[in-house]
Structure 1
Amino acid sequence: MTLHLLLSAGRGPLECAWAVAELTRRLESSATADGPAARGRPEITVARVESVPGDRPGTLRSVLVRIDGPGAAAFAASWSGTLCWRAASPYRKVGRKNWYVISQPVDPEVATTAFTETDVDLVPCRTGGPGGQHRNKASTAVRATHRPTGLTVVVDTERQLSQNRRLAVELLRSKIADGNQSAAQAAVTARWQVHDDLVRGNPTRIERPT
């Protein structure tokens, strides 16, 4: 099983970016073979997929980690929610010692639709309305249907059937490409919304320096 967690400092101060880095290291160390094996959990591995550095060296505004192994679901659940790094700030003198981080499962994979012309059904048809006698008497229009998605377009702008067939295929190709782009943007937007989901207080997990 493979799962992904996104750890984010949200809109917190620089100490929260420090907390993301510290908590990520703690997460990685707790996933080593010795840790899970000693506690009777299935072995898992953790790898950083991507990260956004913070304003100070060694800090992270966010990090995406991939968790692999039969115990991935249980391990990810134990590291999900509001995490708290409890330690004094290394950057300034403040009384606060609780620095909160959001950790949520995300799906970095975006489902896209591959376009192949063999997946397109092309059917000649007639269209009504203005356009002259030729358009009314001859089936020069084309209805194109992309079978995997059910997307359908009708093209009748040209007087020749072959030209309308070509335009219909290109129109379907363009619409599917636009759909893939929209899906990718929606996935990015959903991941950025995680940064705003941080709820300070009542953490699901508290970690301290050893």
Structure 2
Amino acid sequence: MSVHLLLSAGRGPQECAWALAHLLRRLEGEATRQGLTVRRVRAVPGDRPGTYRSVLIQVSGAAAEAFTSSWTGTLCWQAPSPYRASAGRKNWYVIAQQPQLDTPPTAFAEADVDILACRTGGPGGQHRNKASTAVRATHRPSGIVVVVDDERQFSLNRRIALRLLRQRIERGDEAARRAVTTARWRVHDELVRGNPTRVEGPEPSGHDTPGQRSRQR
């Protein structure tokens, strides 16, 4: 089983991007100890070296779903700011959610299209009124239907109908991709600071190695 998880520093200060990098290493270390595999699918770096504004990961293994659930929600990294010595704040928040994923493009094959000849309507002469030259084309996987009666020949209307079906399917796929992208960006705005579901931090010595401290609320 594989589960994706998107970690985001939201609109927070650069310390949140720093905290995300620490939390990501902590997550990866804990996953390894549980026999899970973590793959970084996509990462947006922060302004400082080694920091991240967001990271999309894929967790694989038998317990992947339970593991990612334990890391879902508002995460807090408790440590002084490494950039501002005078900053009194020590809690830096990151959000982790299972994101919507890109769907593969809709496959288009003429074998998936039902073509039905029908009589055209409207003006156009006796031939257009009597002959079944119009085309009703249905793409079974998507349910999209087009009716074409632009031409006097059935074969030409059929060709146009197939082209229109392909174009509508491509537009639908593009709209779906935009919706997924929009949903991912919303994650960055959904970070709620305070009342974290999980609190992490470096061990007392100051060294950050996986598994040093984990507290869930």
TM-score category by the smaller chain? over 0.9
CA contact (8 A) 1:15 1:89 kept: yes
* 1:23-58 Cα deviation digits (max 9, x unpaired): 1011111111xx32xxxxxx2111111100001111
* 1:51-85 Cα deviation digits (max 9, x unpaired): 00001111100001110001101110111000001
Give the equivalent residue in structure 2 for 1:11. Answer: 11
Name which of 96, 108, 112 aligns with 1:103.
96
Give the equivalent residue in structure 1 for 2:71. Answer: 79
Name which of 162, 187, 190 aligns with 2:180.
187
Give the CA deviation at 1:124: 1.0
Q: Does 1:114 align with 2:98?
A: no
* 1:171-199 Cα deviation digits (max 9, x unpaired): 10111111111111111111111111101
Q: Does 1:50 align with 2:42?
A: yes
CA contact (8 A) 1:44 1:69 kept: yes
TM-score, normalising length: structure 2:
0.90
Query: Match of 1:49, as an amino acid?
Result: V
Alignment root-mean-square deviation, CA: 1.1
State the secondary structure of the residue aligned to 2:53: strand
Give the CA deviation at 1:88: 0.5
Give the equivalent residue in structure 2 for 1:130. Answer: 123
Query: Match of 1:65, as an amino acid?
Result: I
CA contact (8 A) 2:74 2:93 kept: yes
2:54 and 2:126 mapped to 1: Cα distance? 64
Q: Does 1:64 align with 2:56?
A: yes
Q: Does 1:168 align with 2:161?
A: yes
Aligned residues: 202
CA contact (8 A) 1:111 1:183 kept: no
Q: Does 1:94 align with 2:84?
A: no
What is the percent sequence identity of the aligned residues?
66
2:93 and 2:139 mapped to 1: Cα distance? 48
1:127 and 1:161 mapped to 2: Cα distance? 10
State the secondary structure of the residue aligned to 2:189: coil
Q: Which moved more, 1:120-129 or 1:19-28?
A: 120-129
Give the equivalent residue in structure 2 for 1:40. Answer: none
Give the CA deviation at 1:134: 2.6
CA contact (8 A) 2:100 2:183 kept: no
2:115 and 2:147 mapped to 1: Cα distance? 10
Name which of 176, 184, 209 aligns with 2:202.
209
CA contact (8 A) 1:3 1:68 kept: yes
Query: Match of 2:201, as an amino acid?
Result: R
Query: Match of 1:48, as an amino acid?
Result: R
Query: Match of 2:87, as an amino acid?
Result: V
